[in-house]
Structure 1
Amino acid sequence: MQRESAINALPWPVLAVAAIVVAMEVVLSLADYGLVGGPTGIGWRLEAIGRFGFSPAVWEQIWRGNLAPDMVMRLLTYLVVHGSAIQALFGGAILLALGKWVGEVIGPWRLLLLMIVSGAAGAVAFGIFVPGRVPLFGLWPLDYGLIGGFTCLMWLRLRQTGGNQLVAFRLVGVLLAIQLVFSLLFGNDPVWVAELGGFVAGFLLSILLIPGGTRQLVARLRMR
């Protein structure tokens, strides 16, 4: 019997995003060490963040009606640029793990929609609630959108089995608690605003995308 490889088992939207992240990080990491780009390569990472990253200033331009492609694309392009290889590694690991898990339930096209909406929602939340010109970059808002989808799946499953539905929120609670500790130790990082925006969007959208999710929500509301 032929076994399916781990890569082939991953939904194609996850593979596509992961491939872009890896390609970007390989180039930037090589540039950091001076292996490509020569003396100017050391500044490529900052240049990439400036070109593809998101910020409240970008959101202000979009809000005022500047819908130029180089502005609108930043709602999603910020996801593929990272501050370091370690950041990309951890963000990519969550993308692969939860993307596979959620994608197996809702299918690749719905997963793609979930990833796009949660990534964009994270950027919008960051643009609205974070003052100044702080840049937003990295996979974490999208990852939290997948965590929102995972939480919704667990929440609906626990409702069917009569379990404690609050358990479904354990993962996001632990991650936010860890981030709070890091913020207290190393200073406040406003990226949590984007992560929370991605999580909320991922959770709410998953109710519509998960087979039977809307029906269960309506039944619960009628009970109240």
Structure 2
Amino acid sequence: MQDPDFQPPVNPLPPIVTLTFLAIAGIEAGLSLGEAGMIGGPGAVGWRLGLIRDYGFSGQIFDWMVMNGTWPLQEVIRVFSYPFIHLGFTHALFAMVLLLALGKLVAEALGPVVFAVIFVLAGAGGAVIYALLLNEEMWLAGAYPNVYGLIGGYSFVMWRQLAGTGGQQYRAFSLIAFLMGIQLIWGVFFEVGLQWVAELAGFFTGFGLCFLMAPGEWARIREGIRRR
């Protein structure tokens, strides 16, 4: 019989966050073990490049689809598949750490469905905006636009809480401001590319989706319409 007063030392993750983490971690584990020569034989060294080639997101391929008005499934799927393939173990590790921390906050505050929608559409929105605004040859790989979408969801929750308590709402954007500041400083010393455009677009996609999907937002919108 379970003790009703027992509290686990670590709060369990919402299942949807765990499944998303395991999908990313499983792929990265296979790629890393292959690169280390532990599985797959000599050919495993090229697995990562092969997956990026087949499932990474290319803005130039997207531009080609727009220009020709044709949308082959094997190319469209890149919009949703690129977050699960990373450039290396460290690249994946930071994404997974952020996913666990922010995913738990968003899923518990807004619900697992909202988490899933933000994760998927922030990644897709980040990739599409990256392709439309830029003419970059660099392909997108990794879950960072998706994670930035979760930062948008977290910022929305903080924004609403600060509004309810009379706090300064701009504080809700401290995390994204800090991360963008780090990106700027890092870019001064190193060539980091323009992937931050997809990440920032993911943030705004996640934040914007909360107006449509966060619990109570439709009631708030209807009430605002009635008052007018």
Indicate the residue corresponding to 2:162 in structure 1: 158
Checking the alignment, whether the CA contact within 8 Å between 1:14 and 1:96 is kept in structure 2 is: yes
Task: Go from structure 1 to structure 2 and tell me whether the alpha carbon gap of 1:216 and 1:79 turns closer, same or farther (over 3 Å shift).
Answer: same
Q: Which runs of 4+ in 1 moved over 6 A?
A: 217-223
Indicate the residue corresponding to 1:71 in structure 2: 75
How far did 1:220 drift? 8.0
Indicate the residue corresponding to 1:195 in structure 2: 199
Indicate the residue corresponding to 1:62 in structure 2: 65
Indicate the residue corresponding to 1:91 in structure 2: 95
Residue pairs, 1:102-117, within 5 angstroms: 102-117=106-121
Indicate the residue corresponding to 2:147 in structure 1: 143
Aligned mates of 1:183, 1:113 — CA distance in 2: 31
Residue pairs, 1:26-37, within 5 angstroms: 26-37=29-40
Aligned mates of 1:23, 1:62 — CA distance in 2: 31
How far did 1:130 drift? 2.4
How far did 1:132 drift? 3.5
2:213 corresponds to 1:206: no
2:13 corresponds to 1:10: yes
Q: Which of the two has higher C-alpha Rg?
A: 2
How far did 1:211 drift? 1.9
Aligned mates of 2:167, 2:222 — CA distance in 1: 19
Count of residue pairs the alignment pairs up: 223
Aligned mates of 1:183, 1:13 — CA distance in 2: 34
Greater CA deviation, 65-74 or 21-30? 65-74
Greater CA deviation, 72-81 or 183-192? 183-192
Quick one: percent identity of the two aligned structures? 36
How far did 1:31 drift? 1.6
Using structure 1 for the length normalisation, give the TM-score: 0.90
Aligned mates of 1:162, 1:219 — CA distance in 2: 20
Checking the alignment, whether the CA contact within 8 Å between 1:145 and 1:202 is kept in structure 2 is: yes
Task: Go from structure 1 to structure 2 and tell me whether the alpha carbon gap of 1:92 and 1:128 turns closer, same or farther (over 3 Å shift).
Answer: same
User: What is the identity, as a one-letter code, of the residue corresponding to 1:160?
Assistant: G
How far did 1:22 drift? 0.9
In structure 2, which of residues 23, 26, 40 is the aligned counterpart of residue 23 of structure 1? Answer: 26
Indicate the residue corresponding to 2:171 in structure 1: 167
Task: Go from structure 1 to structure 2 and tell me whether the alpha carbon gap of 1:34 and 1:80 turns closer, same or farther (over 3 Å shift).
Answer: same
Checking the alignment, whether the CA contact within 8 Å between 1:159 and 1:165 is kept in structure 2 is: yes
How far did 1:217 drift? 6.5
Task: Name structure 1 gaps, 5 residues minimum.
Answer: none
How far did 1:162 drift? 0.8
User: What is the identity, as a one-letter code, of the residue corresponding to 2:65?
Assistant: I
How far did 1:140 drift? 0.5
How far did 1:150 drift? 0.4
How far did 1:59 drift? 1.2
RMSD: 2.3
